[in-house]
Amino acid sequence: MVIKRAWQRMLSGRRLQILDPSPLDIEIEDIAHGLSFLARWNGQTSGEYPFSVAQHSLLVEDIFSKQFPKMDNHSKLFALLHDAAEYVIGDMISPLKSHVGINYEELDGRLTMAICIRFNIPTKKIKIIKRRVKIADKRAAWLEAINLAGFSKQEADNIFGKQGVTEGFETKLLPETPFFVRKKFVNRFNELYKP
């Protein structure tokens, strides 16, 4: 019987077991690097560069922090890392995710838990935080849809729901080089993370 490989070597040198991830094998530099090269919307966005998952994560954390200003740094950090598991499993558009089933969600959940443990995000609070992050995530998706992915406002409203005030995030919607985005992501992480 041949055992199939279920791990990935990271640029940090860590060997992450994908099916049973250890928090000890998770490094923020690996996450930032992977997410800054991973395109949102399957790369179907306007601009000279793809709009990356790292940029999306920075946008979601910014929206979350402005919408819920009294949230603590652990909660803001979770908002920044809400899609961090995608540095290993990739970004899959929602319509496809719903057809893949439990396996994708299960992998995402395991990796997210390991990431939370690694960066001291209280896992007992995750359900509460997740609901609020989802509000910011939908607003970010709405903004990306109409500003980058060619959706009409009506189409975005139908899919993501009508969004309230959406001004003030225009500069966060400019696709940037992976190197620059990776740096911004790590800098924001360092501002929020207190070991």
CATH fold of the domain at 7-192: Hypothetical protein af1432 (1.10.3210)
Angle, CA 178 vertex, CA 174 and CA 182 arms, to 5° = 100
Q: What percent of the chain has pLDDT over 90?
A: 75
pLDDT of residue 171: 86
Structure tokens of 55?
């940029």
* Residue keyed to tokens 């057809």: 99
pLDDT band at 73 (very low <50, low <70, confident <90, very high): very high
Listed by start position, the domains of the chain span 7-192
Nearest to 78 by CA among 139, 35, 126: 126
Positive/negative CA dihedral, 180, 71, 133, 117 = positive
Q: How far apart are alpha carbons 53 and 7 in whole angstroms?
A: 22
Looking at residue 168, its pLDDT comes to 84
Band (pLDDT 50/70/90 cuts) for residue 1 is low
Token pair for 68: 């819920």
- Tens digits of per-residue pLDDT, 21-52? 999 999 999 999 999 999 999 999 999 999 99
| Tens of pLDDT, residues 115-173 | 999 999 998 888 889 999 999 999 999 999 999 999 999 999 999 999 877 778 888 99
Q: How distant, in Å, are the alpha carbons of 43, 58, 108, 173 from that of 62?
A: 22, 6, 23, 12
